[in-house]
Amino acid sequence: MTAAAILEICDISKSFGAIKALTGVDFTLQGGEIHALCGENGAGKSTLMNIIAGIVQPDEGTIRLEGKEVTIASPSAAQRLGIGLVHQEIALCQDATVAENILMAAINNRRAPLMNFRRLYADAQKIMDLLAPIPVETPVAYLSISNQQLVEIAKALTLECRVLMLDEPTAALTETEARRLFAIVRDLKARGISIIYISHRMAEIFSLCDRVTVFRDGRYVATDSIASVTPNDVVRKMVGREITQLYPQKLSPERRSDRPVLSVGNLTYRQGSDGVSFALRAGEILGIGGLIGAGRSEMVQTVCGLRPKVSGSVELNGEPVSIRNYSDAVRAGLVYLSEDRKASGLFLDLSIASNISALDLRKLTTPLGLLDRRAEAKQATELVERHGVRMGGIETQVSTLSGGNQQKVAIARLLSVGPKVVILDEPTRGVDVGAKVEIHRLLRDLAERGVGVIVISSELPELIGLSDRVLVIHEGAIVGEIGADELTEEAIMLLASGVRQQRSNARQAHNVA
């Protein structure tokens, strides 16, 4: 600890009503380090970030910046002090230019009645160039998600920025995009900016950060140098008890079967591209990997009738099924969990029971066309109990549940129809570690009970830890298949990025059969 502390948090407490979000926490950020802040959802990380960024005020405690005690009364005060916060979710004005977004606060504070665009672009470009050569005259809507993330960072940076806080910056990024971001973060560090980095992903923390501080239940637990701890240690501190195994046992080789549960034959889902063929075998969890935009979601949504297909066939347990729309798929026993829980997965303002019923109302309808509420309640109670959703009751509004419990409700809805095949798109995105483990176990149980399980994930450790076999998609085509024994991050990335193609016709033929 030779470097001088740039930011010192001493004995900070903060309550929201009856809930104590932070209890006497300490935190020290050294000059020029990348400092990871870890903890489960609700541990108090975001509250601390918001206090440092001047968004909320602490009830007690002091903040010292470069040794001097400061009060950070507002976000603009934080910015004047050289403190920037990049929020977890991208919140940019999509129709405005990059420059207008980056300098929004400055524009807001301008006294002059007219805009000076030449100066605006020049200033914004200076900040943007610290990160990546994105032209600042471009409207944000034309940028990829990862570039939008960079614009968010540019917005938090000022030319005098000393402390930058990043709240799960890789949540929406693919592996390659994340790596590019890491290079940029390291570069910022080299420029002397101290960084607080919040993430749930241990791999990122261990490859990027210098020190790690763990919070649990609003309290400070420990700060360690990365070199002196293992991911195991960090996780143990986060949850406060011993840990065993994150991923459930894979399918043992002797139980592998060649019987396909679902066979997709020569499916063309993009006009003018080649058809894809693959099979899901009994008892296995089939992973689908690839970059965002490679067509993973498109492909499975087409299989389920959520998008129109150009051509191709789908067989369930060896029998051809005709799927023209999603209702046909559900009836045949093929269900899909969408990747964006809030936007397209759940009815947040409705109850747990009504969320679970949505997929098959017919089953719950009496001959008179009325909803059988007793049957609805029974179904919801059973599913919710079986999958360990923690809640006040089945009439609880879904929006009040934690991310993990919301996701379990979404999965319970899929299972309400007794499906033959479930396809899950990013099943654990935005879910805390505990719920993640439970969801993984649930999927393995399903596979063992003979339900076909397909999982799409952008998180490579999940894809590797969970799947028995992984198909990799690149630019709309299946470019390779990796078995459990050969599953490594490198193997997936080489295929996903299009560096290598391992397309063997023999194998494809085998899959269809």
Partner 1 sequence: MSLRQTGRTLMDAEIKASAPGLGGRNWLRLGSMREAGLIAIMLALCVAMTFASPHFLTWGNFRAMLMSFSIEGIVVVGMTILLIVGGIDLSVGSVVCFSMVVSGALFLMGLDPWTASLIGIGASALIGAAMGFFVTVIGLNHFITSLAAMVIVRGLCLVITKGTPLSLFTLPPGFKAIGQGSFGNVPYVIVIFVVVVAIFDFLLRRATAFRKVFYTGSNEKAAQFSGIKTKQVKFWVTVLCSTLAGFAGVIYMSRFGAATPTFGAGMELNIIAAAVIGGASLNGGSGTIFGAILGMALLSVVTSSLILLDVSVYWQDMIKGCILLAAVSIDHFLHSRKS
DSSP 104-128: HHHHHH--SSS--HHHHHHHHHHHH
Residue 267 bridge partners (DSSP)? 276
- What residues from 434 to 473 belong to the interface with partner 1 (CB under 8 A)? 434-438, 441, 460-462, 464-465
Q: Give the single-character DSSP code of 249.
A: P
Contact at 8 Å (CB) between 97 and 140?
yes
Considering only residues 340 to 369 of the shown chain, the ones binding partner 1 according to CB under 8 A are 343-351, 354, 357-359, 361-362, 364-365, 369
State the alpha helices, DSSP H only, in 215-317. 231-239, 296-303
What is the C-alpha to C-alpha distance for residues 349 and 398, in angstroms, rounded to an integer?
Answer: 6
State the Cα–Cα distance between residues 141 and 210, nearest whole angstrom. Answer: 35
Provide, rounded to whole angstroms, the least separation between the CB of residue 372 and partner 1.
9
Q: Which is nearer to partner 1, 265 or 289 (CB)?
A: 289
Backbone angles phi, psi at 50, to 5 degrees: -65, -30
User: Could you give the CA distance from residue 417 to residue 326 in angstroms, rounded to a whole number?
Assistant: 13
For partner 1, which is the closer residue by CB, 26 or 340? 340
Closest to partner 1 by CB, 107 vs 246, is: 246
Minimum CB distance to partner 1 smaller for 259 or for 362:
362
Using CB under 8 A as the binding rule, whether residue 246 contacts partner 1 is answered as yes
Residue 489 interacting with partner 1 (CB under 8 A) = yes
Residue length of the chain: 513
Please, which residue, 134 or 439, has the CB nearer to partner 1? 439
> Parallel, antiparallel, or unpaired: how do β-strands 319-321 and 311-316 relate?
antiparallel
Query: Is residue 108 within 8 Å of residue 190, measured between CB atoms?
Result: no
Region from 72-80, 162-170, 260-268, 326-334 binding partner 1, contact rule CB under 8 A: 326-334
- Window 11 to 40, contacts with partner 1 (CB under 8 A): 40
Contact region for partner 1 (CB under 8 A) — 102-110, 130-138, 242-250, 478-486? 242-250
Going by C-alpha positions, the residue among 447, 442, 440 that lies closest to residue 464 is 440
Q: Shortest approach of partner 1 to residue 349 CB, angstroms?
A: 5
Least distance between partner 1 and beta carbon 337 (Å): 8
Q: Rule CB under 8 A: say whether 505 interacts with partner 1.
A: no
The dihedral formed by the CA atoms of 188, 193, 196 and 199, expressed in degrees to the nearest 10: 0
373-412 residues near partner 1, rule: CB under 8 A: 373, 388, 390-393, 395-397, 399-402, 404-405
484 belongs to the binding site for partner 1 (CB under 8 A)? no
Tell me which residues in 184-223 interact with partner 1 (CB under 8 A). Answer: 202-203, 206-207
For strands 260-268 and 276-281, give the pairing: antiparallel
Q: Which residue from 330, 422, 424, 455 is in contact with partner 1, where contact means CB under 8 A?
A: 330
